[in-house]
Structure 1
């Protein structure tokens, strides 16, 4: 049987507390007041897509919607703007969850780039429909930066699942 590259090593089950912790940390990173540039990557979007691909039954569209509402309230944006974008992003990630592990990390980053681009376009369309300001052409760089963060997020977020359950000299897992 042909196995995907990601399935060459057995992974431990993902701890639900670790998933929740990473989502909350990503939300807090997005809430750090460093100023908002149009090209700034959305770390929460990257983590939501990652868990949507790797744990689609635990992190789905509902959690993306809830975190989107939290970002809307924090940013003072139109209520539902980020919620709609994150929900679409999560739906796309769940649609890709069977196909994406077959690719290398670079190819995965290329595969998720249209998801990030679509989420930014959706949020921009909602913002412009209600009379918001044009953020500038620099916003086209944000999805590229988010796709560039994909391999780093994959390595960091899968690290706890790669360790052996019981380390043993006679059982190198």
Structure 2
């Protein structure tokens, strides 16, 4: 792959770090803070990040499993989050090659519609099952997730940016 000028060569991602970050995001979502419609979905955010950066390791199957875990935790309609996370992962994998050519703030603008689609799917499934409309504050969540995209990118790519033992024969 041709890299942009000035872009740093990254180390391979550790699978334990990938799955640990997904588990940590799941635990953050499970904190008893009270689920309000405007709160960002950390599992969705980390899932999109890893679907973009490591599509062969984190895919639609992982998204479905994490969605089922969220459905069980929130006592939501079984499959509501699973369907939304699966669509989210599919859309992220679909644009991952194009998305990586942009800067991180531009990436945040481009993942905003993906987060909006995921929240619209969750809301549609909830409303079709006879749920109550949570209000128009649900529109804030995709924007909050897009604003958190640069922070998550910096945090999750930090272990890959470490220099591997540089020496005279291996300057990279």
What's the counterpart of residue 44 of structure 2? 45
Instruction: For residues 146-165 of structure 1, give each alpha carbon's deviation from its aligned partner in whole angstroms, at most 9, with x where no partner exists.
Output: 00010000000000001111
Alignment of 1:13-162 (within 5 A): 13-162=12-161
Instruction: For residues 72-104 of structure 1, give each alpha carbon's deviation from its aligned partner in whole angstroms, at most 9, with x where no partner exists.
Output: 000000000000000000000000110011111
Long gaps (5+) in structure 2: none
Structure 1 ranges of 4+ moved more than 2 A: 1-5, 167-173
Tell me the SS of whatever aligns to 2:100: helix
Distance 2:16 2:2 in 1: 32
Long gaps (5+) in structure 1: none
Change (3 A) 1:2 1:52: closer
Distance 1:167 1:46 in 2: 33
Change (3 A) 1:17 1:2: closer
TM-score by length of 2: 0.95
Distance 1:169 1:49 in 2: 38
Distance 2:27 2:140 in 1: 22
- Contact 1:22 1:47 survives alignment (8 Å): yes
What's the counterpart of residue 9 of structure 1? 8
What number of residue pairs does the alignment pair up? 172
- Alpha carbon RMSD of aligned pairs, Å? 1.6
Tell me the SS of whatever aligns to 1:14: coil
Which deviates further from its counterpart, 50-59 or 96-105?
96-105
Distance 1:149 1:169 in 2: 39
Tell me the SS of whatever aligns to 2:97: coil
TM-score by length of 1: 0.95
